[in-house]
Amino acid sequence: MSEAGKGGVAVHASVLVVEDEPKLRDLLRAYLEREGMTVLTAATGADAIALGMGSSPELVVLDLGLPDISGEAIATELRRSGDPLILILSARAEDEDRVRGLELGADDYLTKPFNPRELVLRVKALLRRGRAAPGQSEIRSFGGGQLVIDEGRREVQIGDTLVTLSPSEWGVLLTLARVPGRVYSRYELMNAVRGYEWQGYERVIDTHVKNLRRKLQAGAEGNAVIETVIGAGYRLRLSLDQP
Ligand code: CA
């Protein structure tokens, strides 16, 4: 097998694996390194936060069940420092936990036990998405300046307020803003955000939209920015301003 696995292309990215089970930690390291990634590992939340701040990994694989600090607190801490992509691992299979994981701003979620190959696929999909920057330094304004999206700087301004979005929320907003007024189905949004199908987990998109709305509401009136079209999906209600 080549360094990049079966005929794949090496992915040069730094990934931090946070997992207290040594066997699983070593297994994930081996799988990711085989893809050409630089892998750091941490067995505790304290180490994870220190490494997350010190080495700015592009992506963090984060076990929610760690001995010292809760995975939730670590995710919050990571978001504050380098804002890496976060893929959460959990032993809890309940839907509520899945959704909660994504409310933390996590970008994907895997329930144990899982196939390491599946994890590798998801890590690669997230990295592709995180790096894709369509339309580079384009700045677009909507609704007479109510909403401004700066793709180059990855910034969103609503009214006078600059809002911080998780990578998934950013993906949803960019997709909706592609054609303002067009209704995007949950399926389309999910594919745009994840780059692959994910077991029909449409509720995940609802959570991202809910969080996005809450953030965008800060400077706008009510739910004026994103509209739910019952039985169809979501759309951006503001129209694109002429430059
Ligand atoms: Ca654990």
- Give how far Cα 230 sits from Cα of 173, 174, 227, 234, 242, Å: 18, 21, 9, 8, 29
Query: Count of CB atoms within 10 A of residue 143's CB?
Result: 18
Domain assignment present for residue 1? The answer is: no
Counted domains in the chain = 2
Domain assignment present for residue 78? The answer is: yes
How far apart are alpha carbons 228 and 146 in whole angstroms?
19
Per-residue pLDDT tens for 67-90? 999 877 888 888 777 778 889 898
Domain assignment present for residue 3? The answer is: no
Which of 108, 131, 154 finishes a domain?
A: 131
Q: For residue 150, give the CATH number of its domain.
A: 1.10.10.10
Residues 69 and 142 in one domain: no
pLDDT higher than 90, residue 198: no
Which residues are close to ligand 1, an ion, with C-beta < 5 A? 20, 63, 65
Residues 66 and 104 in one domain: yes
Residue 117 CA to ligand 1 centre (angstroms): 19
β pairing state of 14-18 and 38-42? parallel
Per-residue pLDDT tens for 203-219? 778 888 888 888 888 65
pTM over 0.75: no
Would you give the DSSP letter of residue 133? Answer: -
Domain assignment present for residue 9? The answer is: no
Q: How confident is the model at residue 221 (pLDDT cuts 50, 70, 90)?
A: low
Burial class for 134, CB neighbours closer than 10 Å (0-12, 13-18, 19+): exposed
Which of 131, 148, 176 finishes a domain?
A: 131
Buried b (16+ CB within 10 A) or exposed e, 6-16: eeeeebebebb
- Residue 184 in contact with residue 235, Cβ under 8 Å? yes
Residues 154 and 198 in one domain: yes
Residues 62 and 159 in one domain: no
Q: Which residues contact 221 (CB under 8 A, 6 or more apart)?
A: none
- What residues pair up with 163 in beta bridges, in sequence order? 156
Q: How confident is the model at residue 20 (pLDDT cuts 50, 70, 90)?
A: very high
pLDDT higher than 50, residue 196: no
Q: Looking at the chain, how many residues does it have?
A: 243
- What residues pair up with 61 in beta bridges, in sequence order? 17, 87
Domain assignment present for residue 28? The answer is: yes
Per-residue pLDDT tens for 130-188? 655 444 447 889 988 889 998 877 889 988 888 888 878 888 998 898 888 888 888 77
Residues 101 and 149 in one domain: no
Residue 68 CA to ligand 1 centre (angstroms): 10
Domain assignment present for residue 4? The answer is: no
State the pLDDT at residue 100.
59
Residues 155 and 232 in one domain: yes
Residue 182 CA to ligand 1 centre (angstroms): 43
Which of 85, 110, 131 finishes a domain?
A: 131
Residue 18 CA to ligand 1 centre (angstroms): 9
Residue 3 CA to ligand 1 centre (angstroms): 29
Q: For residue 78, give the CATH number of its domain.
A: 3.40.50.2300
Residues 63 and 160 in one domain: no
Residue-range definition of the domain harbouring residue 105: 14-131
Give the DSSP per-residue string, 51-110: HHHHH--SEEEEES--SSS-HHHHHHHHHHTT--EEEEEES---HHHHHHHHHTT-SEEE
How far apart are alpha carbons 42 and 206 in whole angstroms?
32
